[in-house]
Structure 1
Amino acid sequence: MGVQSREWSRESAEGIQAVRLSEVLGALSHALDLTEGQPAGHCVRACWIGVHVGRELGLNEAALWELYYTLLLKDLGCSSNAARICQLYLTDDLSFKRDFKTVGNRLPQVLSFVLSHTGLKAGLAERFRAVVNIVQNGGEIARELIETRCQRGAEIARQLRFPEGVAQGIQSLDEHWNGGGKPYGIAGAEIPVYSRIALLAQVVDVFHTSTGEAAARHEVRARSRTWFDPQVVEAFERVAGSPAFWEVLRSDDVETAIFALEPAQHIESADEDYLDDIAAAFARVVDSKSPYTSGHSDRVAFFADLIAGEMGFDEAGRRSLRRAALLHDIGKLGVSNEILDKPGKLDETEMAAMRHHALHSETILSRIRAFEGLARIGGAHHERLDGKGYPRRLKGDEIGRETRIISVADVFDALTADRPYRAAMPVSKAMGILEADIGAAFDPACVDALRRALDRIEGRQAQRGFA
Structure 2
Amino acid sequence: MLHGRFSDAFPQDSERLVSLAEILSAFSYALDLTEGQPEGHCVRSCWIGTRIGQALGLPENDLWELYYTLLMKDLGCSSNAARICELYLADDHRFKHDYKFVDGNLGNVLKFVFTRTGTDAPFTRRVGAIANILKNGPEIARSLVETRCMRGADIARQLRFSDNVADGIAGLDEHWDGSGKPNGVAGDAIPLFSRVALLAQIVDIFWKANGREAACDEVKARTGSWFDPELCTAFLAIAGKDDFWTDLAAPDIEQQIFALEPAQQVTLVDEDYLDDIASAFGQVIDAKSPYTSGHSNRVGDYVDGICAHLGYADDRSRTLRRAAILHDIGKLGVSNLILDKPGKLDEEEWAIMRDHARHTTEILGRISIFEDMAAIAGAHHERLDGTGYPLGLDAVTISMDTRIISVCDFYDALVADRPYRGAMPREKALTIIKEEVGAAIDPRCFEALEAITEQ
Q: What is the TM-score when the length of structure 2 is the normalising length?
A: 0.96
Q: Which amino acid aligns with 1:218?
A: D
1:81 is displaced (CA, Å) by 0.2
Q: CA 1:16–1:346 in structure 2 vs 1: closer, same or farther (change >3 Å)? A: farther
Q: State the AA in 1 paired with 2:148.
A: R
Alignment check: 8 A CA contact 2:380 2:402 kept: yes
Give 1:135 shift: 2.3
- What secondary structure is seen at the aligned counterpart in 2 of 1:338? helix
Match of 1:426 in 2: 425
Q: How far does residue 106 in structure 1 lie from its aligned partner after superposition?
A: 1.2
> Secondary structure of the residue that 1:424 maps to in structure 2?
coil
Aligned to 1:111: 110
**Other-structure match for 1:55:** 54
Alignment root-mean-square deviation, CA: 0.9
2: CA distance between counterparts of 1:61 and 1:242? 24
User: 1:305 offset after TM fit, Å?
Assistant: 1.1
2:305 corresponds to 1:306:
yes
Q: In 2, distance between residues paired with 1:322 and 1:166?
A: 28
One-letter identity of the residue aligned with 2:155: I
Higher helix share: 1
The answer (yes or no) to whether the contact 1:328–1:374 under 8 Å persists in 2 is no
On the 8 A contact 1:279/1:326 being kept in 2, the answer is yes
Residues in 2 aligned to 1:297 and 1:397: alpha-carbon distance in whole angstroms: 27
Q: Percent identity?
A: 60
Match of 1:136 in 2: 135
Amino acid at match of 1:48: W
Range 235-244 or range 192-201, more displaced: 235-244
1:381 shift after superposition: 0.5
Secondary structure, aligned partner of 1:346: coil
2:208 matched to which residue of 1?
209
2 CA distance for matches of 1:86 and 1:407? 29
Counterpart in the other structure of 1:270? 269
Give the letter aligned to residue 165 of structure 2: V
Q: Matches of 2:59 and 2:453 in 1, distance apart?
A: 55
Q: Which residue of 2 aligns with 1:174?
A: 173
- Residue identity matched to 2:254: E
What is the alpha-carbon distance in structure 2 between the residues aligned to residue 167 and residue 452 of structure 1?
42
Rounded Cα–Cα distance in structure 2 between residues aligned with 1:454 and 1:185: 49
Aligned match of 1:37: 36
CA contact (8 A) 1:359 1:378 kept: no
Q: Cα deviations across residues 155-207 of structure 1 (Å, max 9, x unaligned)?
A: 00000000110000000000000000000000000000000000000000000
Q: Distance in 2 between matches of 1:299 and 1:93?
A: 26
**What amino acid sits opposite 1:324 in the alignment?**
A
**Aligned counterpart, 1:286:** 285
Gaps of 5+ in 1: 1-14, 459-467
State the match for 1:9 in structure 2: none
Q: Deviations over 1:50-80 (max 9, x none)?
A: 0000111111000000000000000000000
Return the alpha-carbon distance in structure 2 between the equivalents of residues 142 and 454 of structure 1. 43
TM-superposed CA distance for 1:288, in Å, is 0.2
Measure, in 2, the Cα distance between the counterparts of 1:45 and 1:136: 38
| Counterparts of 2:161 and 2:241, CA distance in 1 | 32
Point out the more displaced range, 103-112 or 264-273: 103-112
Q: CA deviation at 1:107?
A: 2.2
1:121, distance to aligned residue in structure 2 (A): 1.1
Counterpart code for 2:36: G
Distance 1:215 1:108 in 2: 21
* Separation in structure 2 between the aligned mates of residue 242 and residue 371 of structure 1, nearest angstrom: 38
Structure 1 segment 108-257 matched on structure 2, within 5 A? 108-257=107-256
SS at match of 2:453: helix
CA distance, structure 2, for counterparts of residue 206 and residue 454 of structure 1? 48
Paired residues, what number?
Answer: 442
Return the alpha-carbon distance in structure 1 between the equivalents of residues 439 and 201 of structure 2. Answer: 47
- Structure 2: runs of 5+ lacking an equivalent: 1-13
Whether the 8 Å CA contact 1:221–1:233 is kept in 2: the answer is yes
Secondary structure of residue in 1 paired with 2:396: helix
Output the CA distance in 2 between the equivalents of 1:175 and 1:111: 20
Return the offset for 1:378. Answer: 2.4
Kindly provide the CA deviation profile for residues 322-349 of structure 1, in whole angstroms up to 9, marking residues without a partner as x: 1001100000000000000011111111
CA contact (8 A) 2:303 2:324 kept: yes
Find the aligned partners of 1:437 and 1:372 in 2 and give their Cα distance: 29
Q: Which amino acid aligns with 2:130?
A: V
Runs of 4+ in 1 over 3 A off after TM superposition: none
Following TM superposition, by how much is the alpha carbon of 1:116 offset from its aligned partner in structure 2, in angstroms? Answer: 1.7
C-alpha separation in 2, matches of 1:104 and 1:138? 16
Residues 74-114 of structure 1: CA distance to partner in whole angstroms, max 9, x if unpaired? 00000000000000000100000001111111122112211
CA contact (8 A) 2:377 2:405 kept: no
